A = this chain, B = another copy of it.
């Protein structure tokens, strides 16, 4: 019997709980996963999204002002990041790419730490164990295997934590991501594959990576998957909670495709006008995740001026602290270049460090007498 790839409308349908106009949509399966989300909780999600959008804008500004070397904006992906990350427990562990600053915010990252990598002051901004989130990953897809291995460790420990890995639509083409699904399915590891399909991998449209919806990939590996409106924070929360529950109760991995849009450039070094149509951006602007939740809150009277103002104040405060932390970051010392390559002493490196320190010292004082040196 030939298995074909003709569209199965039901399969490809997006889970949506808030329509683009802000209307609450009911869903037979997923409503129950957000039944506890009351007005206050919705306001909190709103606050999160506004704050991280402000972080994104502030970081972009810092880059333009020369305070950051680079910044990968997540503008437009706030619902996918907040909805999923707010579903997590503290003891869950996140393995993300480079674009999940919104997720890092939810994990409680220090704002200065969030800037370190992008200012060029670190290769990893934070202590992964302090916030249970691995550092940014630049090698596309590599982190999905780490998450899977971590989840195998959870199984081993008999714990009910979950590993969650974030990656993009482009990443699904990498061998590593597919191998991660093989391992996750084989061991039934408690890992969630959270794919933010933001339609683009730098200049390449998602159609170059896949002719069928990405969510269809995982079932072929034996992993259930779900396609969710990635601009709907409630829907993202719901599907992530369901997946977490499955993982915690021995049900193994889940694949989530959050269909969203990268409204900005790939990074501040990119110029999207070279490859994409302005119209496309407009279409997606109409589905803006923040405006959408604001619509729902408004309709339910949950967005009075004092709430708006307070959210605004939070965002201002975060932005100010972010900027301050960024520009007052201490400069690293030359010797730092040699630190932590190994956890144990290494004769090759010690020799090089020793030579380099003498070399640096030679700029400060006249070269010392060679006989004295020789006696060392």
Contact = CB atoms under 8 A, between A and B. Distances in A.
Given A1-B11, A11-B1, A186 B211 contact: yes
B186 A175 contact: no
A218 interface: yes
Interface stretch (A177-185, A295-303, A354-362): A177-185
A14 to B, nearest CB: 9
A254 to B, nearest CB: 9
A208 B183 CA distance: 9
Contact of A224 (B2, B173, B182): B2
Contact of A4 (B178, B211, B224): B224
A277 to B, nearest CB: 21
A10 to B, nearest CB: 5
Given A173-B182, A209-B186, A220 B222 contact: no
Interface residues of A, number: 39
Contacts of A219: 3-5, 212, 216, 220
A90 interface: no
Contact of A2 (B29, B185, B220): B29
A182 B176 CA distance: 13
Identical copies of this chain, number: 2
Given A178-B178, A219-B220, A220-B212, A225 B3 contact: yes
B5 A223 contact: yes
A372 B301 CA distance: 102
Contacts of A98: none
Contact of A220 (B176, B182, B216): B216
Interface in A214-230: 215-227
Contacts of A29: 1-2
Interface string A167-179: 0000011111011
B218 A3 contact: yes
Contacts of A221: 210, 212, 217, 220
Contacts of A212: 185, 219-222
Contact of A186 (B185, B186, B208, B226): B208
Complex A-B, nearest 5 residue pairs according to Cβ-Cβ distance, in ascending order: A175-B175, A178-B178, A220-B220, A217-B220, A211-B222
Interface of A: 1-5, 10-13, 15, 29, 172-176, 178-179, 182, 185-186, 208-212, 215-227
